[in-house]
Structure 1
Amino acid sequence: MEIIELSIKDIRKNPYQPRQTFDEEKLEDLKNSILIHGVMQPVTVRKSVKGYTLVAGERRLRASKRAGLLKIPAIITEMSDREMMELAIIENLQREDLSALEEAESYKELMTKAKLTQDELSQRLGKSRSYIANMLRLLNLPLMVKRAMNEQKLSSAHGRTLLSLKEPLLMEQVAREAIDKNMSVRALEAYVKTFDKKRTIKKTSKKLKFLQGYENQLKEHYGTNVEIKKVKNKGMIQLEFTSEEEFKRILRMLQKK
């Protein structure tokens, strides 16, 4: 496959790139490496109506721009929109710093956009169906627990253990205890097994059923996960976003009169 030098200004970013944020320190390291050794691996692009569209190599392209390069080695490939989207998501899955929730979101996105079943996805990625199913289950965790995982206060194994509690408010309550007491996964598993759900949930189940309909309406309207919480006479609505772009989209909807 032929490698050619392309003008960086003629390459536009991949519209299907699932990754919106990049580690600034690692980008700087890559830029310094490029200044010394050059771009060691070419990016992959697709010919477009005007110039080229990046297929793979977002970090290399960004770092090359920072290094002041005008051209970058590239491989031109013929690829459909669907193939571009799949490759971008699969490349994202190969990141070393990918968190469990980011991995799960990528699986969900690939299944949705490529219209794949869990079986088809497992075959395509070479991972077991049970592994993918367990990762996808993490997306059902409450926002508070997801935040704790992203902040590395809880692991994905902690998250899977909390899912057995079923009730979102109960998961949050136990998650806080696990963080406060610095519980290991094994300790949390033992605690969850002996947990008196009825005593702790009290009347929250009825409340959750009452609010479920409103949550579903808001989820459909905003196109993202929504949680409604009510404690005594106060309430809170939480809208989830996974990127700056999605945050701006939701903000525009909220500001629309």
Structure 2
Amino acid sequence: MAGESKSKPKRLGKGLSALLGEVDGVGYGDDVETVEVSKNTIKIKDIRPNPAQPRRTFSDEELAELAESIRQRGVLQPILVRPDPDAPNRYQIIAGERRWRAAKQAGLEDMPAVIRDSDDLELLEIGIIENVQRENLNPIEEAEAYGALMQRFGRTQDNLAESVGKSRAHIANTVRLLNLPERAREHLRHGRISAGLARAALGAPDPGPLIDLAISKNLTVRDVEAHAKRLRDGGSLDTVASKVEAAIPDVDTAALQDNLSRVLGLDVEIKHKAKGGDLRIKYRDLEQLDALCRKLTAKR
């Protein structure tokens, strides 16, 4: 139609902060775009979760604590919802699913909500930004959320960095985790490995078996980086596993390490080889080094 202009992709930056601030009872700033919302009390049975919710794991213990708080004081902050596009007189959660779950657990029949007309992009993006800003997502949930925005809505890493208030390097490093096989993603989702260890394993031709080995042998990120390089250079996983086994101290060596650590008050590592070996004593600062030197030279 004449006079109609193409709209740019929605940017949620400050507008989203204001919106979430309104949900938290803070209100809007004068420097942001006004958003159309209305506050209501809604039946909990008429609300369903955000199908694009990036957060998949909720702590049972934390939910129980929040539910008890809600039983005593009620829901202090309204959740943010939109009319459910597939069910008249029903609503989808945009932000606040944890409060909704806890309110259900507390036995409430209704709860306060802010209703906002929102499209699928906003539904996904607000869900991501709310969780990222409050550090509610584990690394793989964050990566999958960014991936969904990039694949479904054409967002670039630069767009995402601006929207969620993270550096482009953080976005790029997080999105790399999507290259993990599903089993490794589950390890990361449940906290069995760190994001740093997962990224180190991505340096291997097949990161999955290396991650399984890292979990079973309690390897460090540095260990995984070194083994990933061996695998890239043509080494086999069996060879890597053999090196890992060789690096594990025997019972006598482990006992000697513990005794020295106890006497010196520092971490001690002994690497015994066929001919000789290494004794490493780790200190944090010059005070610890000075104390160590006094102990080693006291009798002299």
Q: CA deviation at 1:108?
A: 0.6
Please point out which of 45, 60, 63 is paired with 1:24. Answer: 60
Find the aligned partners of 2:49 and 2:190 in 1 and give their Cα distance.
29
Please point out which of 122, 126, 137 is paired with 2:165. Answer: 126
Pairwise mapping of residues 186-201 of structure 1 onto structure 2 (< 5 A)?
Answer: 186-194=222-230, 197-200=233-236
1 or 2 for the larger relative contact order (CA 8 Å, sep ≥6)?
1
Find the aligned partners of 1:186 and 1:126 in 2 and give their Cα distance.
29
* Paired positions, count: 199
1:91 equivalent in alignment to 2:130: yes
Does the 8 A contact of 2:203 with 2:225 survive in 1? Answer: no
Change in 2 beyond 3 A, CA 1:16/1:191: closer
Q: CA deviation at 1:125?
A: 1.3
Q: 2:146 aligns to what?
A: 107
Please point out which of 130, 141, 148 is paired with 2:180. Answer: 141
Does the 8 A contact of 2:203 with 2:229 survive in 1? Answer: no
Give the structure with higher Rg (CA): 2
Q: CA deviation at 1:53?
A: 3.2
Q: CA deviation at 1:32?
A: 0.5
Does the 8 A contact of 1:86 with 1:114 survive in 2? Answer: no
Q: 2:74 aligns to what?
A: 38
Does the 8 A contact of 2:55 with 2:137 survive in 1? Answer: no
Does the 8 A contact of 2:50 with 2:93 survive in 1? Answer: yes
Change in 2 beyond 3 A, CA 1:142/1:70: closer
Q: 1:253 aligns to what?
A: none
Unaligned runs of 5+ in 2: 1-21, 23-37, 239-300
Change in 2 beyond 3 A, CA 1:151/1:63: closer
Q: CA deviation at 1:71?
A: 2.1
1:163 equivalent in alignment to 2:199: no
Instruction: Give the TM-score, by structure 1 length.
Output: 0.66
What whole-Å deviation, never above 9, does each CA across 1:168-220 have from its counterpart, x for those lacking one?
Answer: 1xx33433443343222123334444557324279xxxxxxxxxxxxxxxxxx
Change in 2 beyond 3 A, CA 1:27/1:151: closer
SS at the partner of 1:14? coil
Unaligned runs of 5+ in 1: 203-257
Find the aligned partners of 2:211 and 2:39 in 1 and give their Cα distance.
51
Q: 1:76 aligns to what?
A: 115
Find the aligned partners of 2:110 and 2:229 in 1 and give their Cα distance.
59
Change in 2 beyond 3 A, CA 1:126/1:174: same
Instruction: Give the TM-score, by structure 2 length.
Output: 0.58
Find the aligned partners of 1:81 and 1:195 in 2 and give their Cα distance.
43
Amino acid at match of 2:111: I
Find the aligned partners of 1:197 and 1:143 in 2 and give their Cα distance.
25
What whole-Å deviation, never above 9, does each CA across 1:38-80 have from its counterpart, x for those lacking one?
Answer: 1111111224542433322112112212222222112222323
Find the aligned partners of 1:20 and 1:82 in 2 and give their Cα distance.
19
Does the 8 A contact of 2:231 with 2:237 survive in 1? Answer: no
Amino acid at match of 2:120: D
1:54 equivalent in alignment to 2:93: yes
Change in 2 beyond 3 A, CA 1:195/1:82: closer
Percentage of pairs with the same residue: 43
